[in-house]
Amino acid sequence: MEPRFETFTDKTLVGKRLTMSFNNNRTRDLWQSFMPYRADILANTGTDLYSVEVYKPHFFDHFDPAAEFEKWAAVQVSNIDSLPPGMEALLIPAGLYAVFTYKGPASQGQKIYRYIFTTWLPGSGYELDDRPHFALMGPKYKHEDPSSEEEMWIPVKKT
């Protein structure tokens, strides 16, 4: 599986975040706390959902599944003039991304990440850049449906 490469323009998101690790995955809790209040976000620019991971620099140099990172459930907005209670803003800066299309149930998504980090990235001529990673869940996203589709955006730079 080969990615397409996209130069991402900076975007502002609004949503909720939780600190978690791969060993203590709280993604379900995060989305359950976000979705009931999604309609309260003003200036929403569409229907796409963003599942964003913000890792500390060099997080993947010596991978530790117990290491913590921030995960966000969010939507893109045109401005942050009025944030709903309990919501925060996150700016994803511009930069180059390798974009992988994943088809299948969300619970099996770890397989594509394993491929990206252990197979594709080491031989790609790219390295991770220190920017947020995210999954873009658009109209073809159907959670656990085998026909579900989402995009995995991995920040990269040439080595």
Task: Inform me whether the pLDDT recorded for 1 exceeds 90.
Answer: no
- Give 50-74 pLDDT, tens digit per residue: 999 999 999 988 889 999 999 999 9
Report the chain's C-alpha Rg in angstroms.
Answer: 15
d(CA 72, CA 50): 8
Supply the range of the domain harboring residue 58. Answer: 4-158
Tokens of 24: 């203590």
pLDDT in tens, 80-93: 998 999 999 999 99
Specify the CATH number for the domain of residue 121.
3.20.80.10
For the chain, how many structural domains are there in total? Answer: 1
Residues ≥6 apart with Cβ < 8 Å to 51:
27, 31, 71, 72, 73, 134, 135, 137
Q: Which helix (H) or strand (E) holds 27?
A: helix 27-34
pLDDT digits (tens, 9 = 90+) for 107-155: 888 888 999 999 999 999 999 999 999 999 999 999 889 999 999 999 9
